[in-house]
Copies of this chain bind each other. A is one copy, B any other.
Amino acid sequence: MVEQEKKIAYLGPEASFTYIATKGLFPDNQLMPMTTIPECIDAVVEGKVEYAVVPLENALEGIVPLTIDYLFHEVNLYVVAEILEKIQQHLMVNKSQVHNWQHVEEIYSHPHALAQCHKYLFYRFSGIPLRQISSTSAAAKLVAESPERCIAAIGNASSAEKYGLEIVEKNIHDFHFNHTRFFVLSRHNTRLPVEKAEVNPKTTIMFTLPSDESGTLHQVLSVLAWRKLNLSKIESRPLKTGLGHYFFIADVLADENDVMMKGAFEELNSIGVTVKSLGTYYTHLTPEG
């Protein structure tokens, strides 16, 4: 789908949830793991890679502030696709400990993953120490390197595979509708063709209001509402100029080139709303792993 020689940056490490999302959309490209979200985004800006994949929001944790703030304050990039991935957590142990896993002495994972399996851990492993570590992938690596210890990691199937661990209990996460949404970013305002897509394109806009006058947000929504331009999401983030000053990020279920969208942009500009489109894009669904 995408030319094979093009490189893709993603929030690493390898076998992270972002890795799985990226691999699903770019199966044949060279994937480059980055340590932080800004590093990932800067790699696109500097032309080191063609696209970057970064997490935007999770159904339980909410938005990833760093991604949104960096897109608003620091760079000028476009969204060329979004990826929706179902988050599944499994309990895994070293192959030398499979016979013994019910007596596990410590469980390692990222704090979010531990939180996502809170009920399972409470009912099944009450009293067993839970150890926080920088990523689910790092937890799997630690368990792989400690064959003599009866410890477990929580993470995805990809990290079990990468580090040769055995999954002893599948789908131990509490909420079974948990998804993470990722943006695919580019320097160019194009659209990636995606398979398994939802049919309707989506446009992400960012805007700031002309004054603190709160009625303006209502005015913005009115401009969109009478045109039946539906919002699937709206969030506010601090402008960093003082409490009570925000910028907004919203998803509109329409194409930025539609007549109605162009009319809305013109009207918003005319009432002093600074609005910027990050582009129109399609949704890729990561198959269950």
Contacts and interface: CB of A to CB of B under 8 A. Distances in A.
Given A181-B243, A217-B231, A62 B237 contact: yes
A182 to B, nearest CB: 12
B218 A57 contact: no
A269 to B, nearest CB: 20
A241 interface: yes
A131 interface: no
A83 B155 CA distance: 41
B179 A242 contact: yes
Main secondary structure on A side of the interface with B:
mixed
A232 B244 contact: yes
B238 A236 contact: no
Interface in A233-258: 233-238, 240-246, 253
Q: Which bracket fits the contact residues of A?
A: 35 or more
Interface stretch (A35-43, A161-169, A220-228): A220-228
A9 B213 CA distance: 35
A128 interface: no
A234 B218 contact: no
A288 interface: no
Given A59-B240, A177-B242, A212-B232, 9 more contacts: A59-B243, A60-B240, A61-B238, A175-B240, A214-B231, A218-B218, A218-B222, A232-B244, A235-B235
Interface of A: 57-62, 65, 84, 175, 177, 179, 181, 212-215, 217-218, 221-222, 224-225, 228, 230-238, 240-246, 253
